Chain A
Amino acid sequence: MRRFLSLAMLCCLLLGVTLTAQAQTNTANSSPNDTAALALLDALDVDSYRDKGEAITAILQSDDERARDWLQALLDGRLQRADDGQFVVVLDNSGREWPVADALTNEPLGEMSRRDLDRVGINNALRNQLRSAIAVVDLYSPNLERRRTSAARLLGEVDSELVEPINELILEEDDSQVRTRLSQAVAIYRAEQGEMAGVEALTGSLHPRARVALNRAANGDDPVVADAARAALVSVEQNLKINRGVETLYFGLSLGSVLVLAAIGLAITFGVMGVINMAHGELMMLGAYTTWMMQQLLPGQPGLALVLSIPAGFLVAALVGVAIERSVIQFLKGRPLETLLATFGISLILQQLVRTGISPLNRTVITPEWMSGSLVINDALSLTINRMVVLIFALVVFAALMLIMRRTRLGLEVRAVTQNRAMARSMGIRATRVDIMTFALGSGVAGLAGVALSQLTNVGPNLGQNYIIDSFMVVVFGGVGNLWGTLVAGLSLGVINQVLEPWAGAVLAKIIVLVFIILFIQKRPRGLFPQKGRAAEG
């Protein structure tokens, strides 16, 4: 009861209308009264925006349960009037025919043509009014998520008349996050007014609005408060710098993890067979398209499709890889440069196949719900979840490859062939079989990289091309035949790129990295972790 009271009070203050006795009598009314409701909506359908504003206030004060839905629909332009005068809420306005529901009863009314509907129009002033109104209404919502969002929306929007009711709400609120947000909102107001308490409360806060408030306080009349605000600003700046650093590192690692995924398969085939597979990028592309295909096959279940694409992408790329190895590469043994050219030809063919077979345009791969959104660390730092998942995925793939190399018979044979092919052969290792298996493995990993990439970038025929030179750089930088080298090189190149980017721009950062690598191999022609001893001399 107390809640409703303060809600009504709050609304009136916010909208700048006086609280009327009528509203108080209405507060107890919770049963749906359709005639009254219809009257409320009817009032919206007027020409004057001023009258509309009053109608919105009336809806707020009506304390009708459906008020929020109406307001939200009005804000989104989904509150419409049918030809027969009935108010409807459009549920989905993306198609040609719109599914609608009765605004009063919420009952679905099937589909209606947009020509039979008339939108209740609003202007920008009303839009702002609606947003604040919804935020305030939401503060009383039983739904925790809603309260949190609306509390966050209030930062910097608080004025003198809102302070008191918000303070009351803070006392009543159970959720600490909402409480913190609300006190922050009040503190911002106070700091802007030049009050010491506000400045003190904002020290350490990273929200941009808090900084604005502190800046204003720092320029205020009271020297003591201004000094405190300045000190607070310094610490905030420092804090922000650290957070930005963490963010850059995160983006760098994310880019790096993609590079590692793209390069590691290449490193394996290059290390074992001395073969540069220029079609490696296209194998990644196939992995990405497999994800897209899976999502087409399983509509409505993007998450399941994505999980299934991991083995599917691996298999598709591995099979194509084996086909390439058997049909071309095996005939070019000992001619690495020719292999490079032939696989480049294959990459052209694969690209063009996708272009003519599927489409030259990019395909959209849906990001499943559990991968979208971001992890909010604080006001200045939030980490997107899809990048996190890809980073973890890259590390898992790396660990799995490490295990295969260290713990399985195949790994042993692969390492033997990498070190000395002739010797391994004479010890009974069937080098041809090892070649096929490594090629399948390397290509399969490219497919996995493609599956991961489909969550970060556009899936198109050029997807592989964009990564091939970078992944070569990683291999060259890391050294051949050493998976750790690839990991370190990939991650550090990613981070270097991201660190340089804000300072030099994306293109220049890329150029600097390329030049850096060209200079780096002056000092260490065999990469970061070269193979040593006799084997490396071959």
Chain B
Amino acid sequence: MSLLQSLKARDRVFDFMAPDASPVDVRHGPILYMEDVTVSFDGFKAINNLNLTIDDGELRCIIGPNGAGKTTMMDIITGKTRPTEGSVWFGSRHNLLHMNEPEIASLGIGRKFQKPTVFEALSVFENLELAMATDKRILPTLTARMTGEIKDRIDEVLQTIGLVPLRYQPAGILSHGQKQWLEIGMLLMQRPRLLLVDEPVAGMTEQEMERTAELLTGLAGKQSVVVVEHDMGFVRSIARKVTVLHQGSVLAEGSMDQVSSDPNVVEVYLGADDEEAA
């Protein structure tokens, strides 16, 4: 489109101002590649030569003892931490190491933190509104108005996460489990291609855990979901494919049964159990 034409087209932003929202290229299969990634903090290697591939639409669980580098791995994918070595690609077009956090987020990678962080002073509805995938620059945000379309989208997500009755409540009064769901809801508002979920069921009751399992399995297929979790029962209930991290690199990968019979994994976990017992 020529500049003149683009200037005339009042209903859309100019090409040169539009954010680079080119679709993620997953024709070659995987949505996320991590290759030979290493991160060291003052010589301590939190991630050591890690290789990981996530397919489009996959639900993957990542387990591993404390200090295995799970959170650091998520930090790398979301741009919070820069690896010392290695490469990270989103689809086959986007090099995540060349992008900052908001760029990565707008590309379609959503992250749920270990500790639920929602905006406590804002209502549930507003939390979802802010998370929605729209033009997130200053002026559009300042002049943004509520439309029926946006409302419908928010209502839809409210349904999914089961918080319809609490929509106008400040998020601060939600229970722990409700906050976790709200956070997942906020991720859904971004229409992410890849969801990173860090310990979604920590501190949840049995019922809440069940609902969360339903929620996550329901999402897979539409989105790729990576779940980091300690709770083996929960992992078993949702996982199709499991990756075991240990000391910053992949120790085993496969179905839950395969993994749990792997002697290396058993040793690592038994060792960890010993430590915990001591």
A residues contacting B by CB (< 8 A) are 532-534
Nearest-Cβ distance from residue A338 to partner chain B, whole angstroms: 17
Contacts of B16 on A, CB cut-off 8 Å?
Answer: none
Whole-angstrom CA separation of A534 from B46 in the bound complex:
10
Query: Closest chain B residue to A535 by CB distance?
Result: B41
Contacts of B41 on A, CB cut-off 8 Å?
Answer: 532-534
Contacts of B44 on A, CB cut-off 8 Å?
Answer: 533
Query: Closest chain B residue to A533 by CB distance?
Result: B41
Contacts of A534 on B, CB cut-off 8 Å?
Answer: 41
Contacts of A533 on B, CB cut-off 8 Å?
Answer: 41-42, 44
Nearest-Cβ distance from residue A115 to partner chain B, whole angstroms: 80
Nearest-Cβ distance from residue B70 to partner chain A, whole angstroms: 12
Whole-angstrom CA separation of A125 from B42 in the bound complex:
74
Query: Closest chain B residue to A536 by CB distance?
Result: B41
Whole-angstrom CA separation of A534 from B44 in the bound complex:
12
- For this complex, 6 residue pairs linking A to B, each with C-beta atoms less than 8 Å apart, are A532-B41, A532-B42, A533-B41, A533-B42, A533-B44, A534-B41
State how many residues of chain B have any CB contact under 8 Å with chain A: 3
Whole-angstrom CA separation of A488 from B41 in the bound complex:
23
One digit per residue, 1 when the CB lies within 8 angstroms of any chain A CB and 0 when it does not, for chain B 26-46 equals: 000000000000000110100
Whole-angstrom CA separation of A486 from B44 in the bound complex:
25
Contacts of B42 on A, CB cut-off 8 Å?
Answer: 532-533
Whole-angstrom CA separation of A532 from B42 in the bound complex:
7
Query: Closest chain B residue to A531 by CB distance?
Result: B42
Which 5 A-B pairs give the minimum distances between C-beta atoms? A533-B41, A532-B42, A532-B41, A533-B42, A533-B44
Whole-angstrom CA separation of A533 from B42 in the bound complex:
8
Whole-angstrom CA separation of A533 from B67 in the bound complex:
12
Whole-angstrom CA separation of A532 from B41 in the bound complex:
7
Nearest-Cβ distance from residue B45 to partner chain A, whole angstroms: 12
Contacts of A532 on B, CB cut-off 8 Å?
Answer: 41-42
Query: Closest chain A residue to B72 by CB distance?
Result: A534
Which residues of B (33-63) have their CB < 8 Å from a CB of A?
Answer: 41-42, 44
Nearest-Cβ distance from residue B108 to partner chain A, whole angstroms: 25
Whole-angstrom CA separation of A534 from B41 in the bound complex:
9
Whole-angstrom CA separation of A533 from B39 in the bound complex:
11
Whole-angstrom CA separation of A532 from B44 in the bound complex:
11
Nearest-Cβ distance from residue B86 to partner chain A, whole angstroms: 19
Query: Closest chain A residue to B71 by CB distance?
Result: A534
Nearest-Cβ distance from residue A419 to partner chain B, whole angstroms: 13
Whole-angstrom CA separation of A533 from B41 in the bound complex:
6
Whole-angstrom CA separation of A374 from B41 in the bound complex:
49
Whole-angstrom CA separation of A378 from B42 in the bound complex:
47
Whole-angstrom CA separation of A533 from B40 in the bound complex:
9
Whole-angstrom CA separation of A276 from B44 in the bound complex:
32
Query: Closest chain B residue to A534 by CB distance?
Result: B41
Whole-angstrom CA separation of A529 from B186 in the bound complex:
37
Nearest-Cβ distance from residue B172 to partner chain A, whole angstroms: 15
Nearest-Cβ distance from residue A529 to partner chain B, whole angstroms: 12
Whole-angstrom CA separation of A534 from B80 in the bound complex:
12
Whole-angstrom CA separation of A533 from B47 in the bound complex:
13
Whole-angstrom CA separation of A128 from B149 in the bound complex:
99
Query: Closest chain A residue to B80 by CB distance?
Result: A537
Nearest-Cβ distance from residue A74 to partner chain B, whole angstroms: 74
Whole-angstrom CA separation of A534 from B114 in the bound complex:
14
Whole-angstrom CA separation of A495 from B44 in the bound complex:
36
